[in-house]
Chain A
């Protein structure tokens, strides 16, 4: 029997939510229509540290349309223990509480919310709120703060303490070849295109529906219930569309707190949207300094790795990242030590931003590795192969899979690396210097307990549902493809639902675990539906499938098919009809450890990448163009090559921003970010992006996660900035050890 090509895992289909997005019918957090809506506008602290002495609201209240000015003085009761404010990330410390008291902990801290009948009235009135402060001395200078760096007593969950091996200090002292120095990364802001917003619909029974910009509807749901004392049934949080987040939406942000606070106080529906400037009042990637010392034999074999890093955090929480472990895991070297500390500045707590820790620590390490390759006079790619470790060299454990060697080979071939001339400043194109650089990327292949449901109706329609999010990652499409694969239905007959706290339990979407975890849960739920179908088929007169078990059948074109006799086919509808069922609904949970995953229990689980970059540098002006990138990625099984490629493109583009553009500058006198807008915080634009080629290396792995999927959200950014920095050195002979590499650093 002829059948259309089956669409399932591995099919490059268009994003299933694409039509909504290109027609403007997809509604984001600030776009849900609600009757009698009020608008809240945030008033921010003008000082970085101190207390509020007085707030003069008179002029603001006099503006027609203003309903209320909410401050710490008149707000309704909120929770008072730190525990109540803890979110899913559980950062050690005392979480920020908006409008809690008169204390100012960072510049741009929300200190009042003006609520009005129109957005414009709220905005205007907010400008009239006069605040008197008692300022205290602050410090936003990270380089000063590093003098008081420390190892936090309580570690953040997921923190991996570095493990030392051999005697790195002695080995470095004895090494014939050495590289050492301090490498730096500027603070960066996530700047998703959608501004943080929440629309809260107040219902007359005191319950609320909240459309929020978040990476986890259930995380926000738990937070709101805990902070405001709502019964869990009276809160529903939805985030069906999220306009990017990159980690900034992992924790509930203050606009959702303020919108719910106002709704509760006024018993009205309220929307609060941050402005682009206010988007700099919360999450940012911590500033970092990393002291790296490498020792090697004259052959280029590494003998010593010393890797110490400090990242910025706030005064009130210890945000920790895995910064120093990557180099120790990735390179074969008998002696290695590392140390990780944090330093406090008077800013909001730094936060996870795309590949937190690795984008910083692996990238900076890969610049040092490149330096050592030049010192050893070994080709940078060859240097990485000389020091290649097939196992996790820090933990001494094998990987479930590591196809980095293949990534190097395929990437180098696509890039034409063998044509490279070794000497810096040896390649030219007209008046531009040409440079080629490479780097390694690395991230975790994670899996988180996730539930999903699958509901099949007699007309052949399947709905799969999970409370996960789609922040642009393609979750809707991943769920659809896994369901299509498992039950043999075309994608047009499948609806994926997500972004609703009422749906089966899922963690925040982050860490690149979404596809692996949600995919596994959807597969289990669909398999459960399949089992039920097979059972109901037994009730069909004549039992055409006999006593077939699950292993004896497959699901194809909406039919149960006998593997041995493919002409025997029972349509799903017939099976359901026989048992008088109009629908079959099953819910399942995928938790770590099932399938082949137990075999990978004591193995390391990581994605890898090999990045090759070509830059052209105008010698007189110092302007850098990244003309070519090849990123060869080893990330296990690819569910949708089309959206997967886009994920990597996006990571690479953000890596280009890290390499050349992105930097938030504090004014240390004011303790305030100076360039808090898109005009002065530069992100890559169309004109910056040339040729980017993405390669997925074949990497079968049944142990890492049930579907063999490793995740792609982060790996694209890790190491990209290093490949570009290394290419800039190759082009110019100038080694820049601080990112971003702006023109002044090249000409300076």
Chain B
């Protein structure tokens, strides 16, 4: 994290902002960020990466889950300026229409969503879960995905989708 602003590089930085370099979905960008801006608000309002959802802004629902250096976090609880140099993957970075990530395909095939609002968070969380390598059984997936709420109640289909992908990798 930078402690001083290089005036030559950041001459245009408004007072009170902190220059922060983030790699988001493979693209490195340096932004002048106000210290109180969360990663979630930066992604949604600053970068137009609206696939990351705001469901509570309090770390209670998981809709804002993204991967930071491969680990799943609630982006609403992370101030963006603390992530200087970090590698961030959002749902947009996992796959795109026409080039879906296996989890995205599995979610479609298992109808693992209804309204779709918690879905990017569920998928990012599931990828984080797979990265952790802890979950193998249905009970483990249910337990370790419990930070991601789905009010439409698609839970059993979500677990089916995640197990499908874990099974392929195992």
Contact = CB atoms under 8 A, between A and B. Distances in A.
Contacts of A26: 116
Given A21-B119, A687-B142, A193 B63 contact: yes
Contacts of A17: 116
Contacts, number: 186
A600 interface: no
Given A194-B53, A471-B115, A685-B146, A24 B151 contact: no
Contacts of B123: 22
A192 B54 CA distance: 12
Interface in B26-67: 34, 36-37, 41, 44-45, 48-58, 60-61, 63
B111 A654 contact: no
B151 A649 contact: no
A193 B151 contact: yes
B108 A14 contact: yes
B154 A650 contact: yes
A21 B55 contact: no
Size range of the interface on B? Answer: 35 or more
Contact of B114 (A273, A473, A683): A473
Contact of A653 (B54, B96, B155): B155
Contact of B108 (A15, A191, A649, A651): A15
A689 B60 contact: no
A244 interface: yes
Contacts of B34: 118, 120
A635 to B, nearest CB: 17
B84 interface: no
Contacts of A19: 97, 100, 104, 108
A472 interface: yes
B97 A653 contact: no
Interface string B125-158: 0000000000000000111011111111111111
A31 B58 CA distance: 19
A25 B97 contact: yes
B45 to A, nearest CB: 6
B164 interface: no
On chain A, which size bracket covers the interface? 35 or more
A356 B56 CA distance: 25
A20 B115 CA distance: 11
Contact of A23 (B51, B63, B153): B51
B155 A684 contact: yes
B95 interface: yes
Interface string A98-134: 0000000000000000000011100010000000000
B154 to A, nearest CB: 6
B109 interface: yes
Interface string A643-660: 101110111111000000
Contacts of B48: 33
B151 A246 contact: yes
Interface hub of A191, A686, A691 (most chain B Cβ within 10 A): A686
A159 interface: no
A244 B114 CA distance: 8
A662 to B, nearest CB: 11
Contacts of A194: 53, 55, 115, 117
B91 interface: yes
16 contacts: A15-B113, A19-B97, A23-B92, A119-B41, A192-B115, A193-B115, A195-B56, A243-B53, A244-B115, A276-B57, A276-B61, A472-B113, A472-B115, A646-B154, A649-B156, A685-B146
Given A28-B53, A246-B151, A679-B60, 20 more contacts: A15-B108, A20-B116, A22-B100, A22-B113, A23-B95, A24-B91, A192-B115, A193-B63, A193-B115, A193-B150, A193-B152, A195-B56, A472-B113, A472-B116, A653-B153, A678-B61, A685-B147, A685-B149, A687-B142, A687-B143
Interface of B: 34, 36-37, 41, 44-45, 48-58, 60-61, 63, 90-92, 95-97, 100, 103-104, 107-109, 111, 113-120, 123, 141-143, 145-159
